[in-house]
Amino acid sequence: MVGWAIAVHGGAGVDPNLPTERQELAKQLLTRCLNLGITALRSSVSAIDVVELIVRELETDPIFNSGRGSALTEDGTVEMEASIMDGPGRRCGAVSGVSTVKNPVSLARLVMEKSPHSYLAFSGAEDFAEQMAHALIIYSSGCGVEREENGYFVTEDNKGMLKIAQEANSIVFDYRIPTNGFESCGVGVESPIRMNGLPISVYAPETVGCVVVDSQGRCAAATSTGGLMNKRSGRIGDSPLIGAGTYACNICAVSCTGEGEAIIRGTLAREVAAVMEYKGLGLQEAVDFVIKERLDEGQAGLIAVSNTGEVACGFNCVGMFRGCATEDGFMEVAIWE
């Protein structure tokens, strides 16, 4: 028996001018999710069920960029993606290009549990969702596949930010940053922040994720996102990629957030487990090493738990929406350093 631990994030890279009320809403949601997870863990719910439960909660609330409230493609639609991984046996499931599934993380769970595959995308993922909805597959956690029209996911805030992004001819990471000052985000102004060598006007993604170790020492991770505002249709980020945005094994679980292309290049989530296994680093040491040594010039953050009940986080950008709790009573919700 080990002490359980949970960590949750709502994205790394936060606008320092984000209004106080927006910060408070984010912290309230993170606190609610932590309390939900704590209750489940105290009731001996398994790690894999808890991460799905928490990410579903985050996907259903439009505060962050996942599920309802997802960022919009250049065509004004949503293409959501998610992944989930169960440390015992390294079982995993992932989906991309989902546009009608209320909770993409649960579809990823179904890919893991009810298909011979690890990853389904676009029309294949939608067809699988339709099949699972008709089969009325429900797990012990009470989760299944619910379908919604694409319009359910599109909010007025999203529409406004897509318009701003298109007028600026740019990809925008945070679609809820106040519009004051966006007159400087046009194509004629070069941003100091780059993605794959190209300037990006704003860096503040709001992917969501959760990592858990339960009292049996089982680790699990899940990550979900709507991607980038004004992204090219068909773009896939790190969130559904096992080993990049999400990873869990018998020693730890990791969920990443930030510049997806940099996270993919660095196989960031897997690297945390690798340096723990091969270099003998502790959890926080491993997180710090990976953030410093594996991102090159990219900006990102991550949360992690170990099979001994440790919890850790790290980021190299301005803030990360995050919260964590452990069985010994520790609990923290924060945004800044």
Query: What are the pLDDT digits (tens) for 184-226?
Result: 333 333 444 454 444 444 333 479 999 999 999 999 999 999 9
Which stretch of DSSP H or E encloses residue 7?
Answer: strand 5-12
The CATH architecture to which 5-90+203-334 belongs is 4-Layer Sandwich (3.60)
The neighbouring-strand residues paired with 331 are 325
CA distance 96 to 123: 9
69 assigned binding-site residue: no
Q: Considering the candidates 20, 60, 73, 207, report the single residue annotated as catalytic.
A: 207
Residue 171 is predicted with a pLDDT of 63
What percentage of the chain exceeds 90 in pLDDT? 69
pLDDT in tens, the chain (337 residues): 789 999 999 999 887 888 899 899 999 999 999 999 999 999 999 999 999 999 999 999 998 999 998 989 889 999 999 999 999 999 999 999 999 999 999 999 999 999 999 999 999 999 999 999 887 665 545 567 899 998 899 888 878 888 887 877 766 554 344 444 433 333 333 444 454 444 444 333 479 999 999 999 999 999 999 988 888 899 999 999 999 999 999 999 999 999 999 999 999 999 999 999 999 999 999 999 999 999 998 999 999 999 999 999 999 998 999 999 999 999 999 999 8
- 207 counts as catalytic: yes
Q: Where are the domains of the chain?
A: 5-90+203-334
38 assigned binding-site residue: no
Residues contacting 129, CB < 8 A, separation 6+: 98, 100, 101, 107, 145, 147
Residue 168 is predicted with a pLDDT of 73
Find where tokens 């319009």 sit.
Answer: 151
133 C-beta neighbours (distance < 10 Å), count: 17
Nearest CA among 317, 199, 194, 310 for reference residue 257: 317
List the structure tokens of 146. 């619910």
Residue 96 is predicted with a pLDDT of 98
87 assigned binding-site residue: no
169 C-beta neighbours (distance < 10 Å), count: 12
91 assigned binding-site residue: no
Single-letter code of the amino acid located at 197: G
Long-range contacts of 191-197 (CB under 8 A, 24+ apart): 193/299, 194/297, 195/171, 195/259, 195/261, 195/262, 195/298, 196/261
Find where tokens 């639609």 sit.
Answer: 77
Helices 268-279, 283-293: crossing angle, 10 deg rounding: 130
142 assigned binding-site residue: no
CA distance 106 to 89: 19
259 assigned binding-site residue: yes
Residue 176 is predicted with a pLDDT of 40
CA distance 43 to 41: 5
264 assigned binding-site residue: no
Residue 138 is predicted with a pLDDT of 57
Label the pairing between strands 320-326 and 311-315. Answer: unpaired
C-alpha 137: how far from chain center:
24
CA distance 228 to 172: 6
160 assigned binding-site residue: no
Answer for the pair 317, 259: CB distance below 8 angstroms, yes or no: no
CA atoms within 13 A on the CB side of 192: 0
